[in-house]
A and B are shown apart, each in its own frame.
Chain A
Amino acid sequence: MKLLRLHVQSFAAVGSVDVEFGSGLNVLYGPNDLGKSTVAESIRFALLLPHSSTHFEPYIAWAGGGDPTVELTFETEAQRIWRVRKHFGKTGSSLLQESRNGIDFTDVERGRGVERRLREILRWGIPEPGGAHAPRGLPTSFLATALLSTQADVSAILGQSLQNDLSGSGKEQIAAALQAVAQDPLFVELLRKTQERRSEAYTDSGAKKAAKGSVFKEAAERVKEARREKERLQALVDDSEGAEQQLRELNDRRANTQEQLAAAAASAVRLELLARQAADRSAAEKQVRLAEEEVRRIKSCRNEVEQTEAKIVDLRSKVTGAREEAKKAQELQSQSANALVSAEEEARSDGGDPSSTQTNAQLRQTLAERAVHAALQRIDSILAAKKLFDAARAVELELQQQQVRAEDARTKSSQAKEQENAAGEELQRGVLLERALEIQASEKQVRSAQAAVDHKAGLTARVQEVTGDRASLLEQRASFIVPPQSLLPSMNRLDTELASARGALDVGLVAIVTSHRPLDLTVERDGEAVDPRSVAKREEIEANTELEIDVPGVVNIRVRGGRREAQARFAALESRWKQEVTPHLEAASVSDLEGLSAKIREAQRVDAGIQQRDIELGSLQRQIAAQSDIEDALQQCAADLRARRAALGKMDIETLLADLTALGVDAAAKLERRRQQSLKGVDAARILSGQAHKDHAVAEERARQLSLALQTATAAWDSASCSFPEGVDAAMAAAQVEHAACVSSKQAIDLELASLAAQIEARKKRIETTLRDARKALEEARIKVASAQEELETAMIDESAQSGRLIELRKVLDASDLVQAGERLREATEHYDALPVPQRLVSNDEVTATQSTVGAIESAIDAIEKEIHRAHGRLEQVGGAVAREQLSDAIEEFESAERQERETEAEYEAWKLLLEQMKEADAAQASNLGLALVPAVAAQFNKLTRERYETVSLTAQLETKGVVVAGGVRSTSWLSVGTREQLSTLFRIALAEYLRTAIVLDDQLVQSDEGRMDWFRTLLKDKAQLFQIIVFTCRPGDYLLKAALVPDGSAVHADMDGGLIRAIDLRRALHRR
């Protein structure tokens, strides 16, 4: 804080005063009793005393002129200027204003608020006004005493302590100031850096910074982002692996199902083969059976013919017997009829009637009756004749019908035979086609087996070819004697080193041969001989590495280029070359490593060729091994084919091909169906034929009998018609007329006889009995005749039927060929025996069930394929290996981000901890304010007193305990007044320096000697550069040089040292009333 201006009005003895302060040392001087301390007090009032306090009352203007008014302008920091104006009194007021330029002020607080605000600004340990512990009167505190101490008690500060302050603000301000000043610069810098690092991550309250840009946020965001990406990719990979797992399972299922299918299909094929074998055998067996049946049928037919012939003979004898029986019965009937007629006549001729009239009458009646009877007989005869005609006509008609039936039956029989023949031919054709089909199948098997045999032969040929190639390559390889490829690099290195060593020897040589007489020289240059030469005088011989000059019989000079080490190195390398490389080059018949390398590559190529052929040979041999029994299979197939062709007989298979082609696919089944139909047709035709034969024979027999009956009837008619020459109808008319006349006559007689009836009754009964017996006998005879006739007819029918059957059988027999049938049976039996016997019997249900199983498994495979397709589609979407690669990167990024986050956290936690510990250490160091302040005070006090005292002792609350002398603390009361004033002043100056605030010294050093005042003058001048010092004094010379005083005139103040020192003449600034 720095005071800028003070304006006081009506304050005790002061009428008014107006002072502008300088920023450094201000010395306000004036004579005693001018009012200097009043002015100093007015500053205290301005800063500390509420306008309503009664403490002002002693300061009411002594001379009147209004209530005291104080206006103080001060600056707390740059461009922060305050102006407080207090008007004390009953109508007092306070006003606090603020300005940035010291010219334009704005009101900040008024009334009581001014005190509160001022104490906030000052922070001198004075509580807010109006509180429970608020002081009455002029408030005081440690700092108020230190900075504004009154002249009355210049050593007051030595008895003060922060302990007594009612507010902690003064202590805090001092502690902060002492701490800041007391801190080691290194520590301060480290603390600042630590604070910066800590602030990067934490707020002032110690919470982690969560805003965008904070280190934790960035690390967490990176982790979050990495985790999100990892989880996204993990989900993709999970999906992918799920799909892959599903695919694997589906593939396994498909493989298993395909295995099942293969097994089921193999089973089905095996069962079908067994079924086909069984069917073939069954068909062949059937053929055998049919052939056997045919043979049996023909034999049976023969037997039946013989039996039928025997039956016919038997039946014919029966017919003869029956005819005889019938003849006998007719004779018996005739005899009975005669007996009846005799009986009737006997009855009629019985004359024992007593009444002759009756007898006559009866005679007439009888005559009449006879006449009637005769007429009736005549009519009957005529009717009989008519009946004979009708009967003959009926027989004739029936005969015609029977003849038609017989013809129909013959026609049907013929048709049935034709049908039977056709069905038989169809059956036979079917058998031929089946055999042709089997031949075709066998031919196909033969072709397939032949192709396999050919393929095997091809493979065998290839084996021989590859074996030959391999042998050739082996031979070729044997010609290569080359080292392993791995030796080449070392050889190349040796080659390079050798070349390098040789280069070191290639220094160039020139030999100058100067001969004193002609010499014949033999020269070898660089290992190559040069033509012998003769040297006369001087000759230069040049070589690259080596030169050998030989003068025969005189001297041999050999010169080699290069240093001895180089030669030794070359020799060693050359030796190594000869040991390690040359044998390989010679073995490989090459001159250099390049050639050797080419040879090695060639050998590798040959090795690869051999290896390739080994692989091919292995493959070929596996293929051949897989077809080891193909020749046996071919032979078996060929044998089958021959057997089947033999079964076809002389039939040319070409004639059947069209039919076979027409059958299309599944010919065997179609042929089987056709054979069944043909068999049915044959059976049906045979039944029809038998029936037709039977019908024909019956009709023929009936026709024959009817023919006989017609002859009889015709003869009877002819006989009867002879009795009626006039014609039957005329005879009938005449007979009817005669009959009517007779009836009339008879009726007359009847009447006559009616009376005689009773008489005759008894006789009549007797006669009737006789007649009845005769009639009975006749009836019995008739029955016998009928019976005999019936038996005859039955016998004749049977005989006729057997004859018809015999004809039929003979026709059948005629149509059959037992030899051929026997031949067929033999062929069928042989074919049957030639067919393979199935290992077991397989039912159609079993085959069908297996085929159903195959179908079901195929359906299951289709379903699995669809599922695989779907799973594959899913997999294509999710990424497979791509997703896994990305996930790997994402996991690495996530782990890196997590590591980074942990590292960041640990890093900044450590910074935070370090800062805390530094602050705690610092606080611990600074909490003892006395320790902090002592060095500053003691240093100056030592200088002032020339180290008469060791140091000053202050408590932690800045209470002065005393001075240390000889290791002991002495109370300041032991000090002289002047020394005590000086110590007090140094203490206050030290505090003002730490706080960088203005201090008011009101004649503090009046007891000091001149020497110490000089020292203080220098001190104050120095300190004025750091803070503002305001001195009230009546002896300006103690503080100012004479030249610094305000010159005569109207000026109130004068500045020195660029304004650092301001002298203010209060006599001119202050007006008393």
Chain B
Amino acid sequence: VLKLLHTADWHLGRRFPFLPEEGQKKLSRARMDVVTKILEVARRNAVNAILCVGDIFDNPDPAPDFWQGLAKIFRTHPGVHPPLFLIPGNHDPLTPESVWSPGHGFRSQLPDWVQVVDRDDFSYEISPAAVLYARPCRSKAGENDPAMALPAREAGDERLRIGCVHGSTFDIPGYQTNFPISVDAGIQRGLDYLAIGDTHSFRDVTESVLVPTVYPGAPEPTGFDDRGAGNVALVAMFRRGLRPRVDAEKVAFWRWIEVRCRDMNELRNLLTTPDLDRHVVKLRLEMTVSLAEESEVERILSDLRGTDATHGRAGVLVEDRSGLRMQTGSGDAFPEQLPAVLKDTVARLDRLIVEATEEWERAKATRALAHLYKLLQSRDAIGGQGR
């Protein structure tokens, strides 16, 4: 049995501008950490080769921290390693200025067992009975099918043939200019397994066909839409003509979830999510709350987010409060025994709310009431938890 570890779309150096700065750093570091995990999975499964099919870096000329960091992981990872193949993708195409360039420092720091696919006619004999064909992306977009550019099986060639290309299969929107890969390219080129990369979710494109064409997905998700990301593909190839077995193995640390809370209970329940500190949470608040509840919302958000002194309950939190509304007016939220001047302040804000002709004026005065409420609560002048 020939065993392969197939991975792609590491996107080292990817920025997440829509996330808080600390969260960006966590996720960026996680992308580096997962490489070690992948190497461990490869060792544990005693694979014969590791295929990294494109978009290793998020751009062709990443910051030194990333390429030096990756080279260091490769260099310092203990044990004997199967050959590992790095194939430039559309995010990090092989160009003269890219990290893949022979003169780039990255290349000189790679150990011998790491090979960069920097030729269109790249091939490698994994064993006498198995050969690898790979082709790099040379630009960020392209119309030609890279899989169909791989050499076809010659008569009498009974070896296992593995293809490695980066691009979009025909069932993905926008594939036409993103290195389109025809679904039956593996069959047409006489391959036994076609390892591809680009889509971030694990997917066997050709489940019903003898030659699997598989996206392993990104080992760490890159967004809330990356459902099915976080895996590598473990491929077992038996003999020619027998469909290889492809299994997804989870390696991701992070899970990205979108949560919509329409009442306080849903928000409170979020705190009970297991392993919340390993989640990137996009929280959308779509509810109307009283002054007291708004204060609790703030407290929960602070718990999720963390402070300078405490870790947040959520790994990374993205807040969307655009759907958060407050009940207008003070109601009976404030206690009777308030100093007169504060009572007067509350009364004035209530009056502004009543007399407001515009919604934004009401909202502003309501928010001012909420500020006052929270200030009082912080002084324990109102029942509830002090801060």
Contact = CB atoms under 8 A, between A and B. Distances in A.
A893 B372 CA distance: 31
Interface stretch (B78-86, B262-270, B334-342): B334-342
Contacts of A965: none
A187 B364 contact: no
Interface in B300-351: 318, 320-322, 339-342, 344-345, 348-349
B364 A910 contact: yes
* A187, A608, A910, A911 — most chain B CB neighbours (10 Å): A910
Contacts of B174: 244, 880-881, 884
A903 B91 CA distance: 35
Nearest to B349: A917
A39 B178 CA distance: 100
Given A247-B176, A917-B348, A918-B345, A890 B17 contact: yes
B339 A187 contact: yes
B140 A882 contact: yes
B90 A880 contact: yes
Contact of B367 (A184, A190, A910, A921): A910
A190 B321 contact: no
A155 interface: no
B191 interface: no
B345 A883 contact: no
Given A608-B210, A880-B178, A187 B18 contact: no
Contacts of A910: 364-365, 367-368, 370-371
B379 A875 contact: no
A234 to B, nearest CB: 15
B283 interface: no
A186 B90 CA distance: 62
Main secondary structure of the interface of B (DSSP, over half): mixed
Interface string A879-914: 111111000111011011001001100110111011
Contacts of B370: 910
A236 to B, nearest CB: 10
A883 B178 CA distance: 11
B125 interface: no
A489 to B, nearest CB: 15
A921 B18 contact: no
Given A186-B339, A872-B142, A922-B341, A914 B372 contact: yes
B374 to A, nearest CB: 10
B364 A878 contact: no
B119 interface: no
A930 B318 CA distance: 54
B140 A879 contact: yes
A907 B326 CA distance: 13
A918 B91 CA distance: 56
Q: How large is the interface on B (under 10, 10 to 19, 20 to 34, 35 or more residues)?
A: 35 or more
A244 B90 contact: no
A921 B140 contact: no
A881 B18 contact: no
B15 interface: yes
B368 to A, nearest CB: 4
Contact of B141 (A605, A615, A881): A881
A927 to B, nearest CB: 12
Contacts of A902: 322
B34 to A, nearest CB: 19
A244 B318 CA distance: 34
B318 A896 contact: yes
B322 to A, nearest CB: 6
A54 to B, nearest CB: 49
A240 interface: yes
Interface string B162-205: 00000010000010111000000000000000000010000000
Main secondary structure of the interface of A (DSSP, over half): helix
B113 interface: no
A883 B140 contact: yes
A910 B318 CA distance: 23
Interface string B125-158: 0000000000000011111000000000000000
B141 A907 contact: no
Q: Which of A187, A240, A878, A882 counts the most chain B CB atoms within 10 A?
A: A882
A948 interface: no
B177 A914 contact: no
Contacts of A612: 209-210
B88 to A, nearest CB: 12
Contact of B176 (A189, A244, A605): A244
A918 B364 contact: no
Contact of B178 (A183, A881, A895): A881
Contact of A889 (B18, B141, B320): B18
Given A906-B364, A924-B344, A248 B176 contact: yes
B185 to A, nearest CB: 15
A914 B368 contact: yes
B16 interface: yes
User: Which of A197, A877, A892 lies at the interface centre, i.e. has the most chain B CB atoms within 10 A of its CB?
Assistant: A892
A891 to B, nearest CB: 9
Contact size range, A: 35 or more
B379 A190 contact: yes
Contacts of B243: 605, 608
A920 interface: yes
Contact of B379 (A189, A197, A251, A868): A189
Interface in B231-256: 242-243
B376 interface: yes
B292 interface: no
Interface in A150-209: 183-184, 186-187, 189-190, 193-194, 197
Contacts of A893: 17-18
B341 A876 contact: no
Contacts of A892: 17-18
A611 interface: yes
B363 interface: yes
Contacts of B349: 913-914, 917
Given A244-B177, A889-B17, A190 B376 contact: yes
A925 interface: yes
A185 to B, nearest CB: 9
Contacts of B242: 605
A911 B16 contact: no
Contact of B342 (A229, A247, A251, A921): A921
A921 B345 contact: yes
Contacts of B340: 184, 925
A615 B208 CA distance: 10
A542 to B, nearest CB: 42
Given A229-B17, A913-B368, A917-B348, A875 B341 contact: no
A486 B140 CA distance: 42
Contacts of A247: 143, 176-177
A881 B210 contact: no
A876 B140 contact: yes
Contacts of A922: 341
B375 interface: yes
Interface string B351-387: 0100000000001110111111001100101000000
A176 to B, nearest CB: 16
Question: Across chains A and B, which 9 residue pairs bring their CB atoms closest together, nearest first?
Answer: A880-B141, A876-B139, A910-B367, A921-B344, A893-B17, A184-B339, A914-B368, A892-B18, A893-B18
Given A190-B375, A605-B243, 11 more contacts: A194-B372, A194-B375, A243-B177, A251-B143, A612-B209, A881-B174, A882-B91, A883-B140, A903-B321, A917-B352, A918-B372
Interface of A: 183-184, 186-187, 189-190, 193-194, 197, 226, 229, 240, 243-244, 247-248, 251, 605, 608, 611-612, 615, 868, 872, 875-884, 888-890, 892-893, 895-896, 899, 902-903, 906-907, 909-911, 913-914, 917-918, 920-922, 924-925
25 contacts: A189-B379, A247-B176, A248-B176, A251-B176, A605-B242, A872-B143, A875-B143, A875-B177, A876-B142, A878-B141, A880-B90, A880-B178, A881-B198, A882-B140, A883-B140, A910-B368, A913-B349, A913-B365, A914-B369, A917-B345, A917-B348, A920-B348, A921-B341, A921-B344, A921-B348
